[in-house]
Chains A and B, each alone.
Chain A
Amino acid sequence: MTVYKLPPIYSSEITPRDLFHDRRRFMQLAAGASLTALLPQNGFAGEALTGVTKSTDRLIDELTPLKDITSYNNFYEFGTGKEDPAKNAGSLKTRPWTITVEGEVNKPKVFDIEELLKLAPLEERIYRLRCVEAWSMVIPWVGYSLAALLKQVEPTSKAKFVEFISLHDPEQMAGQKSPVLNWPYKEGLRIDEAMHPLTLLTVGLYGEVLPNQNGAPIRIVVPWKYGFKSAKSIVKIRLVEKMPVSSWMEAGPNEYGFYSNVNPEVDHARWSQAKERRIGEFLKRPTLPFNGYGEQVASLYAGMDLTKDF
């Protein structure tokens, strides 16, 4: 058996430790850079999100096509027409992006979007979306329960409500040049609603990064409430003691209540909420109480008069 003698290495040939690490870092950076070009980065609309657990929900409803979900939007920051957001949302810069979580919490923190994407495993959730305008869709969102984020900041006993504040930048959001709503867009939930596992912190849909017109880079989805309750392009989450006043409550106090649970029995001040048109269907279908999520959430409102607390 031949034993190989390792050739001797002169100390002059040994790369100094720091230089060695530098080179290594350089190589990593280079490799990283070229990989970035090849691999999905969870960054831009239309790119696939990685590591998403597929939905196991057996929702019988058919999914609304991606084209309809991304071309028919109420997102007044980009105009009041349904087609406006798809046309105008390209000006929104979703990187860099942070969400400040503050208020009645033990550990207030500014979260970077990259950190938020890894804070909990991404899941696909197929939810019905019921707009207050009596149309609806079925959307495969991607995200995780908002509770996962809220637990990190440790809400105090004074945290009774959660307020969501969307980006206010008329340069990026041309619709904000018009005073159609009080900007920034504000929404809110009661703490138990916010902590409910169905309440989704959302970063994608159809397995891809959230398109700008759907509220990129990060939004809330509360499936048992009318769509406007689900704030988009969020930059701040405040945990507060008093019930926050949302932009829509300011716009029409008798038309838009704080709770705004989907309810076929309680009509909008100007139109009926008994039926809805599912996008892609011809005949209207009856609207379900709590948008069909009554089994999961009705208990949150036990003892409340939902015609008064609409």
Chain B
Amino acid sequence: MTQHSAEGTRTKVKNLKTLNNTVLSWLKISIFLLALIPLTKLAINACTDNLGANPIEKITHVTGYWTLSFLLITLTVTPLRRLTGWSWLVRCRRMLGLFAFFYACLHFSTYLVLDQFFDWASIVKDIVKRPYITVGFPAFVLLIPLAITSNNRLIKLIGGKRWLTLHRLIYPIAIGGVIHFWWLVKKDITEPLTFALLLAVLLAIRLIYWGRTKWA
């Protein structure tokens, strides 16, 4: 009896470990649509004049918030896969990473067009003089090569190992993104602190796994 139920659980876990392609496709479509919700909400609020008294500030904050959120979600994939053994999670990772880039692009264009309106002199000054932009701007720029190499053909061209090394850039990018948020907040650091703690946990898990494989 006990043996039987244990076997049953094992099959179920096995099922979750290996998702068939149809289910995975549906899952990906769902993630895609879910990931568009913040943008849709922003667009609806913009059309109905519901972005408050300072719409540009609101758009900047919302797109920045979701850039960081998607960066952290992307970084959750590997630890979660290791903990659960659900290998299919990796197949959703690329899309999540590209959504981080997508929201980062919206965030940067909001700054470039709506906030500064192509005032290049002022933008260069910001990058040099404002620490939160000094750290945020390169974090955005470094995302670009990662986004460009997020397709099978380029992975093959570069080679898996080098591709992996290149994509480790996500660590400094995420750290830079969180610092960027932390430094721009006037006083209430609750939100950047939450991002920082989550990121710290995600990086700590990696360190633990790394240590284990090294000294095993």
Chain A residues packing against B (C-beta within 8 Å): 67-68, 71-72, 76, 80, 82-83, 133, 135, 178, 180-181, 251-252, 267, 270-272, 275, 277, 279-280, 282-284
Tell me if A71 and B188 are in contact (CB < 8 A).
no
Which chain B residues (132-181) contact chain A, with CB distance < 8 Å?
Answer: 132
Inter-chain contact A181/B187, CB cutoff 8 Å: yes
* B56 with A277: CB separation less than 8 A: yes
Partner pick for A80 among B53, B183, B188, CB 8 A cutoff:
B188
Is B7 interfacial (CB 8 A cutoff)?
A: no
B117 within 8 A of A: yes
Cβ–Cβ < 8 Å partners of A267 in chain B? 129
B193 to A: closest C-beta gap in Å: 12
Task: Identify which of A133, A275, A282 contacts B186 (C-beta below 8 A).
Answer: A133
The interface residues of chain B lying within 8 Å CB-to-CB of A67 are 53
Interface code B101-129, partner A: CB below 8 Å = 1, 0 otherwise? 00000000000001001000010011001
The 3 closest A-B pairs by CB, nearest first: A72-B53, A80-B188, A68-B53
With known contacts A72-B53, A82-B52, A277-B56, A272–B187 Cβ distance under 8 A = no
B213 interface residue per 8 A CB criterion: no
Q: Please state if B52 and A71 are interface contacts (CB–CB under 8 Å).
A: yes
Q: How far is the CA of A33 from the CA of B130 in the complex (A)?
A: 59
- CB distance B184 to A270 under 8 Å? yes
With A272-B126, A272-B129: A80-B56 Cβ-Cβ less than 8 Å: no
Chain B residues with a Cβ under 8 A of chain A: 52-54, 56-57, 114, 117, 122, 125-126, 129-132, 183-184, 186-188, 190
Please, which residue of chain B has its CB at the minimum distance from the CB of A283?
Answer: B117
Nearest-neighbour CB distance to chain B for A279, whole angstroms, equals 5
Residues of chain A within 8 A of B125, CB atoms compared = 272
B190 partner residues in chain A, CB cutoff 8 A: 80
Chain A neighbourhood of B114, CB < 8 A? 282
Q: Is the CB of A270 within 8 A of B187?
A: no
In the assembled complex, the Cα of A283 lies from the Cα of B113 at a distance in Å of 10
A279 and B130: CB pair below 8 A? no
- B20 → chain A, closest Cβ, in Å? 45
Q: Contacts of A82 on B, CB cut-off 8 Å? A: 52-54
Query: Could you list 15 A-B pairs, sorted by A, with CB under 8 Å?
Result: A68-B53, A72-B52, A76-B187, A80-B187, A80-B190, A82-B52, A135-B54, A181-B187, A270-B132, A271-B130, A272-B130, A275-B122, A280-B53, A282-B56, A282-B117
- Having A68-B53, A82-B53, A277-B54, one finds 20 other A-B pairs with CB under 8 Å, namely A71-B52, A71-B53, A72-B52, A76-B188, A80-B187, A80-B188, A83-B52, A178-B188, A251-B187, A252-B187, A270-B183, A270-B184, A271-B184, A272-B125, A272-B129, A275-B122, A277-B56, A277-B57, A280-B53, A282-B117
CB distance from B90 to the nearest CB of A (A): 37
Residues of A with C-beta under 8 A to B53: 67-68, 71-72, 82, 279-280
